[in-house]
Structure 1
Amino acid sequence: MRENVDLRRCNTFGLPAVAERYLPLTDPAQLASPEFRQPPTLVLGGGSNLLLLEKIPGLTVHVLMSGIAHADGRGRFRVRAGTDWNQFVRYTLDNDFPGLENLILIPGTVGAAPVQNIGAYGAEVAEFITAVHAWEYGHGMVELSPEDCAFGYRDSRFKREPGRFLITAVDFDLSGRRPLKLEYGAITAELEAAGITDPTPRDVANAVTRIRRSKLPDWFFLGNSGSFFKNPVVARSHYAALQADHPDLPAYPIDDDYVKLPAGWLIDRAGLRGAGNEKVGTYERQALVMVNRGGATGRDVLAFSENVRGEVMNRFGVEIEREVQLVPNGTAH
């Protein structure tokens, strides 16, 4: 246990914050200690999906348990929560267990994946999770099925019930061969540009990697949390009204009544790509990404993001929600 620990290097935004008390979690046996009788203020993983506002009161637990166990040799894995997500995706592809190729290069840890139900380019991690192992405060270790996790779009039970669980490991099933997800035009365009007509999972992973690197800044050099906002879901009638004025507005069907709109497109068309000030703004290559240009605080980022939300609402009548989690307003990974 350490006190007054600087968390600037523990979050990809590079925001200044201090943990009042800081405890690295390297072994599940630690969970039996008195520190884990009550939930901490913050459970920290890779620090890629949170917005630190100020000094973090109470206890910050940094999950550093890592390791990939190949359960049966046929595509079933148990992965410790502190394992780097991209490392795990590359491991599965290197060992010929495809499925996660659309989710390559998402920053963060495996333990954060089910909390956010991370997704990209038509895939979500919930499709591949068979169980989540967690410490439930006041009860002990539990194993949760996918149904128990109540996954939704960038959502889960863990997100809706902050402070109840601390994820220690996640089970994945990549044993079945699934059709490649090529619905997103950016992927097909990238494959066509490379002259690939019969893509493999590795080809898709390489295409997604090139797309992400062309749009997203490296947080090591320019602080960011990846996608800052969720893609909003609107009624088809609302989309039809918007399309009358914006015929090139993309949409992705959810069901007969609703479609998903790209938040980045809305922010861009509101004239906000590359907007901001010397401290914080939207990335010039991808309006969905907020960046710390130098010296920004969490309050600076939050205030600017609220301006972005307001502009999109005024222009399109569409509310966009933050994908990142505010701390100390909740528990994040």
Structure 2
Amino acid sequence: MDSKITDSLTQFNTLGLEADCFSLVRARQEAELIAICLQTFKAQEPLLLIGGGSNIVLTETFQGTAVLVQTKGIEVSQDDEHYYLKVEAGEVWHELIQFCLEHNMPGLENLALIPGSVGAAPIQNIGAYGAELAQFCDWVEYLDLPSGEIKRLEGCDCEFAYRESIFKNTLKRRAVILRVGLVLPKVWQPNLSYGPLQELSKRKQGVTPKEVFDCICDTRMAKLPDPAVLGNVGSFFKNPVVSQQTFERLQQQYVDIVGYPLEDSQVKLAAGWLIDRAGLKGESVGNASIHLKQALVIVNKGGCSGQDVCDLARLVIDRIFDDFGVRLEVEPRIIGATGQKELADA
């Protein structure tokens, strides 16, 4: 474990926002991660855990310790029907998928190129193109800060929902995820239900995991800007879920509205369609802007502040509510001086 002389967090958030912290620590080993987190928690000082930095909006100097989670390791076991992976929190999510494909363990390819670390994946229950982490999560091990104990939650007890988990609610500010257990069936079934993957389903000769992986990567790279070139956190807004009645009302006015049926007579609307239909592509506040190619994405045009991003997000939310009567929610965590805060308070 080594404390950095610099306290800048700019290179550790994919939006490229200029922000500082009082103390910055790299934790490469589990013991180091546990020690610094417990020390900070017991001192009642603010603690910010950073994996890939792809899901945070830094709005001001963080008045505490930021810990870069860089623990590494992938262990694999198997039985007759499944592969079981034990993955350390600091592993890069996309690199894990590449590892699985290289070792003939497909299943995660629909989640390719989602930025961030393995440890952050359960918090958001990351998902894309018809798949989500909850389908593959066997268990999550975490450090319980109040007790100092390492605990394990089975996947079924993680309260996974759309971009939700127990780690965003009951265990918020008290759990440090150490590693994640994943289970992959040995009999691979391609998930081709979403968007561009539907074209692959029409092939008579079938499809390979690598072809699904390549299709997802090509699609994401065409839609989403590279954070190294144009700062962003990927999709900024959740797809709102409305009742079937609300969807039918909107459909009467907007015949081309995009929605996906869910259980319990609910429909998931495409937030990108709503933002595009409202004419908000290219809308800017300061140096934060709605991406011209993908309306779900807020980008840093250069010198953008966290306040610019939050002000633009509120503008979008208000406009969508005024136009459609639908309330959008943001995906990334808004980080203030002492920790996570609500967008309304940023």
**Which TM-score applies when normalising by structure 2?**
0.90
Structure 2 residue corresponding to 1:150, chosen from 150, 159, 164:
159
1:185 CA displacement: 2.6
CA–CA distance in structure 2, aligned partners of residues 137 and 31 of structure 1: 12
CA–CA distance in structure 1, aligned partners of residues 270 and 289 of structure 2: 19
* SS of residue matched to 1:90: helix
* SS of residue matched to 2:280: coil
**What's the CA shift string for 1:162-195, capped at 9, x where partnerless?**
2111011111111342422111132224x389x7
Does residue 292 (structure 1) correspond to residue 300 (structure 2)? The answer is: yes
CA–CA distance in structure 2, aligned partners of residues 22 and 277 of structure 1: 30
Structure 1 residue corresponding to 2:311, chosen from 303, 308, 327:
303
CA–CA distance in structure 2, aligned partners of residues 29 and 250 of structure 1: 48
Structure 1 residue corresponding to 2:21, chosen from 8, 19, 22:
19
* SS of residue matched to 2:52: coil
Aligned twin of 1:50: 56
Going from structure 1 to structure 2, the CA distance change for 1:32 and 1:198 (only over 3 Å counts) comes to: closer
CA–CA distance in structure 2, aligned partners of residues 320 and 230 of structure 1: 7
Give the letter for the 1:218 counterpart. Answer: D
Matches within 5 A, 1:68-79: 68-72=74-78, 75-79=83-87
CA–CA distance in structure 1, aligned partners of residues 129 and 198 of structure 2: 11
Aligned twin of 1:163: 173
Does residue 63 (structure 1) correspond to residue 65 (structure 2)? The answer is: no
1:202 CA displacement: 1.4
Structure 2 residue corresponding to 1:108, chosen from 116, 123, 132:
116
> Unmatched 5+ residue regions in structure 1?
none
Aligned twin of 2:127: 119
Going from structure 1 to structure 2, the CA distance change for 1:276 and 1:143 (only over 3 Å counts) comes to: same
- With a CA cutoff of 8 Å and minimum separation of 6, indicate the structure with the bigger relative contact order: 1
CA–CA distance in structure 1, aligned partners of residues 76 and 96 of structure 2: 11
Identity over aligned pairs, percent: 39
Going from structure 1 to structure 2, the CA distance change for 1:100 and 1:34 (only over 3 Å counts) comes to: closer
Going from structure 1 to structure 2, the CA distance change for 1:259 and 1:178 (only over 3 Å counts) comes to: farther
CA–CA distance in structure 1, aligned partners of residues 108 and 249 of structure 2: 36
Matches within 5 A, 1:202-221: 202-221=210-229
CA–CA distance in structure 1, aligned partners of residues 204 and 226 of structure 2: 27
**Residues 133 and 169, structure 1, Cα contact 8 Å, conserved in 2:** yes
**Residues 37 and 137, structure 1, Cα contact 8 Å, conserved in 2:** no
Structure 2 residue corresponding to 1:94, chosen from 102, 115, 121:
102
**Residues 93 and 115, structure 2, Cα contact 8 Å, conserved in 1:** yes
RMSD: 1.9
CA–CA distance in structure 1, aligned partners of residues 215 and 204 of structure 2: 10
* SS of residue matched to 1:223: coil
Structure 1 residue corresponding to 2:183, chosen from 151, 173, 181:
173
Give the letter for the 1:143 counterpart. Answer: R
Give the letter for the 2:196 counterpart. Answer: A
**Which TM-score applies when normalising by structure 1?**
0.94
Aligned length: 329
**Residues 285 and 308, structure 2, Cα contact 8 Å, conserved in 1:** no
**Residues 235 and 258, structure 1, Cα contact 8 Å, conserved in 2:** yes
**Residues 99 and 177, structure 1, Cα contact 8 Å, conserved in 2:** no
CA–CA distance in structure 2, aligned partners of residues 119 and 34 of structure 1: 30
Aligned twin of 1:330: 340
1:283 CA displacement: 0.8
Going from structure 1 to structure 2, the CA distance change for 1:12 and 1:83 (only over 3 Å counts) comes to: same
- The answer to which of 238-247 and 138-147 deviates more is 138-147
Structure 1 residue corresponding to 2:242, chosen from 229, 234, 240:
234
- The answer to which of 20-29 and 257-266 deviates more is 20-29
**Residues 38 and 138, structure 1, Cα contact 8 Å, conserved in 2:** no
- The answer to which of 28-37 and 245-254 deviates more is 28-37
Structure 2 residue corresponding to 1:134, chosen from 137, 142, 151:
142
Does residue 84 (structure 1) correspond to residue 86 (structure 2)? The answer is: no
Aligned twin of 1:36: 38
- The answer to which of 211-220 and 14-23 deviates more is 14-23
**Residues 73 and 88, structure 2, Cα contact 8 Å, conserved in 1:** yes
Give the letter for the 2:78 counterpart. Answer: D
**What's the CA shift string for 1:131-155, capped at 9, x where partnerless?**
1111110222111111331111101
CA–CA distance in structure 2, aligned partners of residues 22 and 281 of structure 1: 29
**What's the CA shift string for 1:237-270, capped at 9, x where partnerless?**
0000000011111211111421100100000000
* SS of residue matched to 1:224: coil
Give the letter for the 1:91 counterpart. Answer: F
* SS of residue matched to 1:111: coil
**Residues 26 and 63, structure 1, Cα contact 8 Å, conserved in 2:** yes
**Residues 37 and 138, structure 1, Cα contact 8 Å, conserved in 2:** no
CA–CA distance in structure 2, aligned partners of residues 30 and 203 of structure 1: 40
**What's the CA shift string for 1:39-78, capped at 9, x where partnerless?**
4521110000111111011111110101211133852111
